[in-house]
Amino acid sequence: MRLRWSGGVLLSVAAAYYVYTPLPSAVSEPWKLILLDALFRSFIHAGDAAQALGLCHSVHMLNSVVSRLEVIEPWSSPTVRVTDSALGGVPARVFQPVGGGAKLRRGVLYFHGGGWALGSGRMRSYDLLCRRMAEELDTVVVSVDYRLAPDSVFPDQYHDALAASRAFLSPEVLQHFGVNPARVGVSGDSSGGNLAAAVAQRVHTCKLTHMHTLTHINTHTLTFFFWPQISADDSMSVKFSIQALIYPVLQALDLNTPSYQQNHNVPILHRHLMARFWLIYLGADPSLLPHLLSSPSSLLHPSISPSIRSHLNWTSLLAAKHQKHYLPVGIETGSREVTGIVPGLVDVRAAPLLAEQGILGRTPRAYVMTCEFDVLRDDGLMYARRLQDAGVTVTSVHYDDGFHGCMVFSFWPFLSSVGQRSLDNYIQWLDHNL
């Protein structure tokens, strides 16, 4: 009996030790976040174990769990008709308000998050999000299921996002769905916010307009390209009228911004996990993870040209209250240069924050949501600032008690308080601006 009791105590202590994660005192509903993080970490550890045993890639394991727990079949209600379809050859779930006669509606193209490797627009959380948008805004919402890493890597996800965007903006598709061509928006959260920002910049791939060089420590140079933007593409008669970016990930050249330093161990998106997602997305060798994490801040990066460095200069782009006491991080001993090995790190299609000011100035009115306890906070804040400096009207909304992913956790069973507030604000902004 004593042995069982002792074993139970030890198991309880071990479980508590595994579950508990120290959190900032100001984060919203910390125990909910702790339990969510423990669940997510257990799935990640199970995936890593499956990969180590040679059973499958860790991401495949994670997506298998997500599919079993979250993916649901389309179901319609008296107010919203839901169907699975395709847009530009890309799978998508369509949410159409019922009734309304022949009047033209607004339209939103939505890209889900998940590090370009996880998730689906058919997940329950995204289904409920888009269903609510369609119902409350009387808006046609199309949630895109772009291809996922590691089976598909950059630029496949970007190409799917662009193909879906071009199809949705075509007069034929807008007419089919009864959408007003002057009231079409693009939106997404996290990696989906990355894709939304990239297609809002309307990157084209027909020819090059800008070329920059990065000088490396070993005196070699790496040439990388900014692809021409088609904000002025005459082949597209309809453009997005707004972009709504929810805690977007926008660059990987500086994983030492103040928010990365402050929140490196804050759930649910730890710094090392974000770096891991970047390498999976860009099809890079996972052994580069420690080198990516030990790369210096962009301001001190010897391989980044001054013109690009200015696009990431958080000492000038961030307000003092967000810079806090943090300083740029220098080169760590033994760190390996990764920009030459992973060219996607400096490709504007993967990192929209690197876009030239003239390109940003042609993008539509923007909503950028950020959370204090999120490694991606400064990506969004810097992008909002650069958009404003380029002349774009920007609504920048920051949640001092928010954490990464909070908006999609606003539904049962998590019912995040800050998530519900952020969702209400997001829908209200769409209603007033789209």
Known catalytic residues are: 190, 374, 404
Enclosing H/E stretch for 77: none
Distances (CA, A) of 322 to 93, 316, 341, 371, 380: 38, 11, 32, 11, 12
Cβ within 8 Å of residue 196, ≥6 positions away? 109, 111, 161, 186, 187, 188, 243, 244, 245, 248
Enter the DSSP assignment of 227: P
3-state SS, residue 154: coil
**Is the dihedral angle over the CA atoms 91, 93, 98, 103 positive or is it negative?**
negative
CA distance 374 to 86: 33
Give the pair of three-digit tokens for residue 338. Answer: 């990764």
Question: To 10 degrees, the CA torsion angle through 129, 351, 341, 284?
Answer: 10
* CA angle in degrees (0–180, nearest 5) for 293-296-298: 115
Q: Spell 258-294 as b/e; 16+ CB within 10 A means b.
A: bbbbbbeebbbbbbbbbbbbbbbbbebeeebbebbbb
Vertex 128 angle, CA 123 and 132, to 5°: 150
Give the helix/strand (H/E) hosting 175.
helix 171-177
How far is Cα 410 from Cα 391, in angstroms, rounded to an integer?
33
What is the Cα–Cα distance from 204 to 201, expressed in whole angstroms?
9
- Per-residue tokens: 185: 């928006």
